[in-house]
Amino acid sequence: MAMAENFVRTKSGLVLRRPPIVSHDELTHSQIELAKAAHLALRNAHNSVEDIRVGAAIKTADDRVFIGANLRGSGISRHMHAEESALAAAEMSGFMDGIRAVAVVSAPYGPKLPCDTCSKMLLIRANESGIDTVIITSNVEMSRFSILKITDMFVNRNLPHGELDIDMKPDV
Ligand SMILES: [Zn+2]
């Protein structure tokens, strides 16, 4: 089914577009640099529940970079995602005119798109600022990437709360 190769339905029912896997040749120099920052951030990940580590790096409209990593402890249901910890770091700096790009590096599985909650937070930022955020994802080896804009990630960009406008079977 061709549709299932291009879209993913998240656990909460949101339908997101899944970009093709590309090599680093498809990225610009600054996108590679941002992915490297996310890769460094991944070293700060703390996950005592499972061996999943994620690093994120946000580049703001004024060209500052903020990093974050996932934080998860056993016995605690709350799991802070790398993207939200990077976003919190950016927010606490007093920024926010908009987010130019976000890089996310995941281990051991990757590239992985931001989850639906993080994606919605980024989409809301894009809608508020008018700056369409480029999402760059990579595996930890930095051999496989994907790139897309946050507004292209959502099947319907004007519905950030997860309403669906296509019919498909879930594949996650
Ligand atoms: Zn998330």
Cα(27) to ligand 1 centroid in Å equals 23
For residue 70, CA distances in Å to 20, 73, 78, 123, 170 come to 25, 10, 11, 20, 26
CA distance 41 to 70: 9
In the predicted model, is pLDDT for residue 170 greater than 50?
A: no
- Single pTM value for the model: 0.84
Alpha-carbon radius of gyration of the chain: 15
Cα(166) to ligand 1 centroid in Å equals 23
Cα(28) to ligand 1 centroid in Å equals 25
162: alpha, beta or left, given left = phi > 0 and alpha = psi -120 to 50?
left
In the predicted model, is pLDDT for residue 157 greater than 90?
A: no
Q: Write down the residue that tokens 């995941």 correspond to.
A: 106
pLDDT at 88: 93
Cα(83) to ligand 1 centroid in Å equals 6
Mind listing the domains of the chain with CATH numbers? Answer: 20-154 (3.40.140.10)
pLDDT at 168: 38
pLDDT at 156: 55
Q: Are strands 134-139 and 99-107 parallel, antiparallel or unpaired?
A: parallel
